[in-house]
Amino acid sequence: MTRMDETKRAWDEVGEGFVKLGRMISERYQKLSEEPASPPSAREEGVTDAIRRATDELDRAFTSLGDTLRDDGAREHVRMTGRKLSDALKVTFTEVGEEVRRTVAGRRSPGSSEPPPPPPPPPPTDSGTSA
């Protein structure tokens, strides 16, 4: 397996993990949406009704997220997805590092395996004495 294949596989696993987590949250959200809503009163009109509906939707969204994260299976899935994300980042940075090393090595003068010498130190500065 090439490094590029390994990188693609690692990121595919991360994507699959987040897709599954999204489905878990979505399922809980759908279950909460199926609960009967309280009938609106005559006073709930216009802006008040819109605010209530938005608040209800946010409440359902955060409740479904919270319920999912409290679930042991979902927490383990989040841990595994986090590890996969870490692995994917590690593989990606390794690949980038190797590419940078190859590029830098290709820019060195032909026949020289030694890195260029460091630049000379700057000249000493006057330490506060005036002439």
pLDDT digit string, tens, across residues 70-95: 888 888 988 999 999 999 999 899 98
Domain segments of the chain as ranges: 3-35+48-103
Contacts of 10 by beta carbon, 8 Å cutoff, 6+ apart: 84, 87, 88, 91, 92
In whole angstroms, give the CA distance from residue 28 to residue 82. 21
Q: Which amino acid is at 23?
A: R
Residue 67 has pLDDT above 80, yes or no: yes
Which of 86, 83, 70, 85 is CA-nearest to residue 24? Answer: 70
In whole angstroms, give the CA distance from residue 5 to residue 66. 36
Range of weakest confidence among 28-32, 60-64, 93-97, 104-108: 104-108
Q: What is the DSSP track for 23-61?
A: HHHHHHHHHHHTSPPPPPPTT--HHHHHHHHHHHHHHHH
Q: What is the pLDDT of residue 7?
A: 85
pTM, whole model, 2 decimals?
0.51
Contacts of 13 by beta carbon, 8 Å cutoff, 6+ apart: 84, 87, 88
pLDDT band at 114 (very low <50, low <70, confident <90, very high): low
Q: How large is the average pLDDT for residues 98-127?
A: 71
Q: How large is the average pLDDT for residues 31-60?
A: 71
32, 103, 113, 114 from 110: Cα distances, Å:
68, 13, 8, 11
Range of weakest confidence among 1-5, 98-102, 126-130: 126-130
The rounded mean pLDDT for the chain is: 78
Contact criterion met (CB below 8 Å) for 84 and 10: yes
Q: What is the pLDDT of residue 83?
A: 92
Q: How large is the average pLDDT for residues 46-71?
A: 81
pLDDT band at 116 (very low <50, low <70, confident <90, very high): low
